[in-house]
Amino acid sequence: MFFHKLMVPGILMILTVALNGCALFSKEVKLEDVPSAAQAVIQSHTSGGTIEKITCEKEEGKHFYKVEYKKDGREFELQVDDDGKVLEVEEFMKMEELPPAVQETVKAESAGAEIKELVLETEGGKTFYEVEFEKDGKEYEVKIAEDGTVLKRETE
């Protein structure tokens, strides 16, 4: 009897999570499953390109759609909320595509470590370059202004 009392709430919790979709986990979705306001923004950004993947996600209490797409031979990632507000746009870059001042800062910060990711990012109305690399067993993320100034360093 005691076992049955525990089993019913457990099953209800599992069903709630499963039916709640992306409220708790990342879930791949189709464009037609996205709210119309977000769909319009996604179509505008990806026009002339190819959508690779759309996931519904929740991070820091915020629900959004992450869209990975290719356009003009370049790779992008867009984050947009249900209302169509653009939260973040990333364009994946190569070292030689960065401004010279940013290249110098990336080289100095990474000190020969393997670069995992280089992106031109727009978030909160601000545009900057972000580099991720691993050095001495630690993950580093450095945000850099176009003039090469380090805006923020994070270590994981």
**Does the pLDDT value for residue 16 go beyond 90?**
no
Going from N- to C-terminal start, the domains of the chain cover 25-90, 93-156
Cα–Cα distance, 43 to 49 (Å, whole number): 9
By CB atoms closer than 10 A (0-12, 13-18, 19+), residue 92 is middle
CATH ID of 25-90, from 3.30.70.20, 3.10.450.360, 3.40.462.40, 3.30.930.10: 3.10.450.360
CA dist 128 to 9, 67, 77, 87, 99, Å? 47, 20, 15, 14, 11
- Output the average pLDDT for the chain: 87
The string of pLDDT tens digits covering residues 89-142 is 999 999 999 999 999 999 999 998 999 999 999 998 899 999 999 988 899 999
Q: Is residue 69 over pLDDT 70? A: yes
Tell me: pLDDT of 14 over 60: no
SS3 breakdown of the chain: % helix, strand, coil, rounded to 5?
Answer: 30, 45, 25
Architecture of domain 93-156: Roll (3.10)
pLDDT confidence of 19, banded at 50, 70, 90?
A: very low
Q: Tell me: pLDDT of 34 over 60.
A: yes
